Chain A
Amino acid sequence: MVKKIVICLLILVIAFSQTACSNAAKEIGEHTGVVIPKPKDGDATLTIMLNPEEYDALPANKFFRDYVDRFENNFGVEVRYESIGSSPGQLIEMEEQDEYIKELSMKLYAKNGPELIFSQFMPLGPIIRQGAAAKLNGKISNLDKVYDGLLDDEIYFVPISIRYYSKIINLEALKTTGMEEPDVDWTSHDHYEIRTKWLNANKIHFTSYEWYMAFESIVDLDKTYDSIHNRISLNTPITKKNIRDIRRYIFDGNYILNQNYKFENYYRMITEDNSKEFQESRDLFSQYEQSGHIESGRYENLLRTIDVYSNNYNYGTIMMPEYSNKEVMLSAGGFAINKNAKNSELAYEFINGLLSNEIQMQIFNDVEDGFYPANKDIEEDIKALEAEKVADERVLQTKEYVLNQIKNEHMKIWNAENLDFYNLKKMIEEDFIKIILADKEYADVELSAKLSELEKKYNIYLNE
């Protein structure tokens, strides 16, 4: 009897598996609109490793595909893409970053890995820190064209294009506060003032978005972190003061509060996606976004002034840079080169080409995804283009301000940095929810004890 069932099931299984074949197997082409060429027979190959989530970043763009074709013809090599699921044909998107990193690190350990490792958002910090990436000083001539602030003294990561995330202030909402437009070098405190004035003039509900904004501005976690010693200090007078301040800020009249909510409800609202409270918060937030919330609008790469200008026009906003009292973190699409790769020379050539004026100009013109070229030589040409299309002086000045920073100061690039602290930030915030939104306010002694305990916990994790 059981045997019969088993055989039946096996037949079913085989039958269903055939539907997969006729079922449109996700061609990489279908996913990104690109046809990845099948591997040719060739001697030298150049392999680019991509995180499957970032497949859209490179091959999706025509300028890149054209460049690759030209490169292949010029040097007589074949450029291959590798990823989890890289064979032309089926692509399974691995959600887990972990698995991709495991896969990549194995190839690096085996010393036969890809030449180029691309990253747009994926952190390459561990690869660089552990010495798997090649030092590029003096190997690539066009590195001179990259903005100084984007390169470290020892260059392991080459940015090809950069993204500077803007902050938004909605002009309609700003009017209700009676305040002036903030200056381009505004501080976190300026933003805090604008927000608070706006909240007082327009009472809204306390949603999880509001929690994040309040937490960011009042309890500034970045200040508690000492990057030199890799330690965090939480049991300090200033943190305690901030905790008391934010508690008062939330509960003493800035918001419309749900009277039925206790701590558990707030906790669920902020941390648990499938809870009723989270849904309610999200619905409320969508409402507010449509009706002139102080930060409603559409985000953009602050350096792409043409797009910034059109967004401002469409949504009635102004775009602001990072606070002048905070460190700027840029996001960059770029490459690291595997120290043990076979064809390093080819890799250097490849990147050299990508940094050329011509290609970089194409990044500016053709890329839909909102990246700005890292090449400083073409700055003037871009300025000329912008001057025609952007009628708002302020937008152009904001860009100047940011570019000056990039020229003169050393910028931190998200993908290439040591992100130990940032990986823990979200957890620290969740722990703070328990303290700040507790039903009963913590007394000073309790608070010290609790903060000490948290401090100990996070210092252990930081110094793993």
Chain B
Amino acid sequence: MKKVFIGILIAISLLYIFPIAYTFTNSFMDEKQINSYYIETIPDQFNLQQYYSLALDKGEYFKFFLNSIKLTGVIIIGQIGIGIFAAFALAKLKFPGSNIIFAVYVLAVLLPFQVTLVPNYLVFDKLERLFDIQLLDTHLAIILPGVFSSFGVFLMRQFIRGIPNEIIEAARIDGASHIAILFKIVIPVIKPAIYSLVILTFIDNWNLIEQAIIFLDTPKKLPLSVFLENIYHEDYKVFFAAAVLYIMPALLILIKGEGYLKEGLVMGGLGNEK
């Protein structure tokens, strides 16, 4: 019986992977086959032409790659660094207005970005003039909203809520300060949440396009996601190779992160033992 269910799961997972496998196999096809009208899954001739063209003719692809890594990396660190404190406060420290703040945190990000895009731009403009700094056309214009998005705070708060209060009370009675509680008790326990956050934040920010176009003027600062769009429209014959390389980091993080997820809880003393 169990085997049947596992079989079903495997079948479902194959459905999910098929379009991705398609992207992979298409990256080894030549131009004619890519443009064919039908779905082509097996390359007629396994060739690395696309990758060569990409490496040699489109060297700037890799510059944008580094841009994306920089942007996403900083955002992830910022999200966790700033968010963990806020999440702990909202989840366990009762203070006036914590519920309202939390509600606002969630509601303000429920709007699609086009709505707040113009005011965002204007806010940056005003900040630039107020503090005499440059925000627009720098990576900061993308990093700052990414770091202060309430996504991370929200996720971690939900997980921290799940920690029984008794444990924390016990630590307080033992004289631990809030910071000690945070680092010694809370963080180890919510490791799965943190790894989830890393994965999800990475995915979200790796695929940012519109914000990058609006806030960045200089082409060499653009992230890879924008360039991929560009390749899709202009240079379709290397698109699949470009797409494969594009999703590599995301795949790596997913694969690695999945391992940490399982691992993290064995340490915390909770969860399944395999």
Query: Interface residues, chain A, CB within 8 Å of chain B?
Result: 2, 6, 9, 13-21, 23, 25, 84-87, 89-96, 99, 102-103, 106, 109-110, 112, 268, 272, 274-276
Contacts and interface: CB of A to CB of B under 8 A. Distances in A.
B233 A96 contact: yes
A87 B217 contact: yes
Contacts of A6: 252
21 contacts: A2-B252, A2-B255, A13-B65, A16-B55, A16-B61, A17-B63, A17-B65, A20-B58, A20-B63, A85-B219, A90-B60, A92-B222, A92-B227, A95-B233, A102-B210, A102-B214, A106-B118, A109-B118, A112-B125, A268-B37, A272-B37
Contacts of A272: 37
Q: Which of B36, B60, B214 has the most CB of A within 10 A?
A: B60
Contacts of B22: none
Nearest to B129: A112
B121 A110 contact: yes
Contacts of B35: 274
Contacts of B177: none
Interface string B232-274: 0110000000000000100010011000000000000000000
Interface majority SS (helix, strand, loop, mixed), chain B: helix
Contacts of B62: 13-17, 19-20
Nearest to B227: A92
Nearest to B60: A20
B59 interface: yes
B65 A103 contact: no
B230 to A, nearest CB: 6
B228 to A, nearest CB: 12
Contacts of A2: 252, 255-256
A371 B227 CA distance: 34
Contacts of A112: 125
B125 A99 contact: no
B254 to A, nearest CB: 12
Contacts of B118: 106, 109
Contacts of B217: 84-87, 103
Nearest to B56: A19
Contact of A87 (B57, B214, B219, B233): B219
Given A86-B217, A91-B219, A94-B230, A18 B122 contact: no
Q: Which 3 A-B pairs have the closest CB atoms?
A: A20-B59, A17-B62, A19-B59
Interface in B22-71: 35-37, 55-63, 65-66
B13 interface: no
Interface string B195-233: 000000000000000100110011110100001011001
Contacts of A21: 59
Given A85-B218, A89-B220, A110-B122, 6 more contacts: A16-B61, A17-B65, A23-B59, A103-B214, A109-B122, A274-B35
A21 B219 CA distance: 14
Contacts of A18: 59
A25 B230 contact: no
A268 B37 CA distance: 10
A19 B58 CA distance: 9
B213 A84 contact: yes
A143 B227 CA distance: 42
A14 B122 contact: no
Given A18-B59, A87-B219, A276-B37, A92 B213 contact: no
Nearest to A105: B118
Contacts of B61: 16, 20
A464 to B, nearest CB: 15
Q: Which of B37, B55, B65, B230 has the most CB of A within 10 A?
A: B37
B35 to A, nearest CB: 5
B240 to A, nearest CB: 15
B219 A274 contact: no
Contacts of B256: 2
Contacts of B255: 2
A232 B214 CA distance: 35
Contacts of A15: 62
A93 B234 contact: yes
A109 B60 CA distance: 32
A17 B66 contact: yes
Given A18-B59, A94-B230, A102-B213, A13 B218 contact: no
A103 B117 CA distance: 11
A87 B218 contact: yes
A296 to B, nearest CB: 28
Nearest to B124: A110
Contact of A106 (B121, B219, B234): B121
Contacts of A84: 213, 217, 219
Q: Which of B63, B122, B248, B255 has the most CB of A within 10 A?
A: B63
Contacts of A94: 213, 230
B211 to A, nearest CB: 11
Nearest to B65: A13
B256 to A, nearest CB: 6
Contacts of A276: 37
B59 A274 contact: no
Contacts of B66: 13-14, 17
A17 B67 CA distance: 11
A96 B210 CA distance: 12
B56 A103 contact: no
Interface string B95-131: 0000000000000000000000110011001000000
A14 B63 CA distance: 8
Contacts of B210: 102
A110 B230 contact: no
A9 B213 contact: no
Contacts of B213: 84, 94, 99, 102-103
A120 B252 CA distance: 46
Contacts of B125: 110, 112
A90 B63 CA distance: 13
Contacts of A14: 62, 66
A106 B59 contact: no
B91 to A, nearest CB: 33
A90 B220 contact: yes
Contact of B60 (A13, A23, A87, A93): A23
